[in-house]
Amino acid sequence: MTRHPDPAVLYPDVAARGSLGAALQAFADESGLSVPFTAADSRPLGHALVGSRLPHRKALLVSAYVHERRWSVRGEESFQGMPLVQGDTDDLAQIARAAQAWYEGAALSDIREAAPFLRPTGRFEVPDHDPVRLTESEWQHMRTEASEQEWPAYHALVEAAYAEPALRALYPFTSHWTLRFSTTTRPSLTITGPCLLALGTDEYLVSKGFTGAGVLARATTAQEAVASAVHHLPSGLGPVTPGAYDEESGRRLGS
């Protein structure tokens, strides 16, 4: 079993304050920032939170690495729980500035300017949870993510799927880097249609299962794979609807 250093050894300044939230709060106060940090109950030396004045944002989560002195920061939207910004740094000053911007409801681009270590995921904010806009946001994330991978075939597949109106109208997601589609948004997906896999240069697979089971077609270009996927889409698909749960009944809504 891998043994990690004692958090008090990696983070003596945090341990001296009793929690990561308290350490960040002290740092923010000393820097003249007005932002309320709280410590996580389960791991106070390792996690801290700061809320937002915007109801469609979840609390910004700051998490300490266990093997080196570094922190990851993640800011999610509230409806789907998907990250809008994320990144890691060893600089508490940048974390404090990022938290201040998140708390005050600054635009995502302004948060990036305040704390350059935070990387936008490509998603944009949809305060009213409109499913069509959430779908557009997720496509933007998929394209951003694909462009950052050293995997030209996968990038080509995502771009070809986005260029096809029938697929662009569906909510995209991945399972083990397999491109899939849903007629509802997160948090409750309703899977529809085939799966698309980029196996390698000039090798694409269209299948029923995300592991490649139930092969429907093989293609040498992303465009050919997408055309085959469209051919295998069910008929009568309507606009994407919210994939939410009724908390009282536990039943899915919008599908």
pLDDT in tens, 10-49: 999 999 999 999 999 999 999 999 999 999 888 999 999 9
Q: Which residues contact 215 (CB under 8 A, 6 or more apart)?
A: 205, 206, 207, 208
What are the distances in angstroms from CA 158 to CA 47, 66, 152, 163, 246? 35, 35, 10, 9, 32
CA distance 166 to 80: 23
pLDDT band at 211 (very low <50, low <70, confident <90, very high): confident
CA distance 149 to 156: 11
- Statement: residue 250 has pLDDT above 50: no
Strands 184-187 and 241-245, by their bridges, are: parallel
Give, for 119, the enclosing helix (H) or strand (E): strand 119-120
